[in-house]
Amino acid sequence: MREFAAADFDDLLLLDSDPRVLKYINGGKPMARAEVEAALQRVTGYYALYPGLGVWRASRRDNGAFVGWYCLKYCPPTTDVEVGYRLLFDAWGKGFATEGARALVDYGFTDLGVTRIIGVTHPGNKASQHVLQKSGLRDAGWGRYYNRRLRLFIAEAPQRSRAAELRERSALR
């Protein structure tokens, strides 16, 4: 994973032009070039606004080929931190979504100190719901996000034991 740059435009255009990829996002309507340009500008501007959060380019480890993106970002208009992903159709079913989501949930809890992470999906997107559950999020029913009624999944940060806190404090002395 790495931050997006202007040079990634063609990869994003390919991703957001596939009706299969967008089926549960906007009903399968390919995004126009101008929409993708605006989205890329928002994504690259997000890094400075919200350090540690963002949308990251996802690539294969073996050959570096673009497979899509992963995100850990605020879910507007709330202060909920959302984990998400969008992958090329050819990357579906190969474990990329689960690998990225798990890594970002761990990063959010461990490195950023986030206490709660959500994921939202279209009610019909059973594959994405399965990914969220495999990534440690539990089905919490329904929520209203992105001006739509969506399935809501939630993970709470693991609670540290009092003994672990005391050990850490004594090690710092």
> What does each C-alpha distance from 126 to 3, 85, 121 come to in angstroms?
28, 14, 8
pLDDT tens, 75-89?
Answer: 877 889 999 999 999
Higher pLDDT, 167 or 128: 128
Is pLDDT above 60 for 161? no
The helix/strand/coil state of 130 is helix
Confidence of residue 172 (pLDDT cuts 50, 70, 90): low
Is pLDDT above 80 for 171? no
Confidence of residue 173 (pLDDT cuts 50, 70, 90): low
pLDDT tens, 120-137?
Answer: 999 999 999 999 999 999
Residues pairing with 144 in the sheet: 149
- Hunting for tokens 């329904």 — which residue is that? 142
Sketch out the chain's domains with CATH numbers.
Answer: 2-172 (3.40.630.30)
Is pLDDT above 70 for 170? no
From 97, 113, 126, 127, select the one nearest 158 (Cα to Cα): 113
Q: What is the pLDDT of residue 122?
A: 94
Q: What is the C-alpha separation between 42 and 71, in angstroms, rounded?
A: 13
Q: What is the C-alpha separation between 68 and 136, in angstroms, rounded?
A: 21
State the Cα angle at 96 between 93 and 98, rounded to 5°. 90
Confidence of residue 150 (pLDDT cuts 50, 70, 90): very high
Q: What is the pLDDT of residue 60?
A: 92
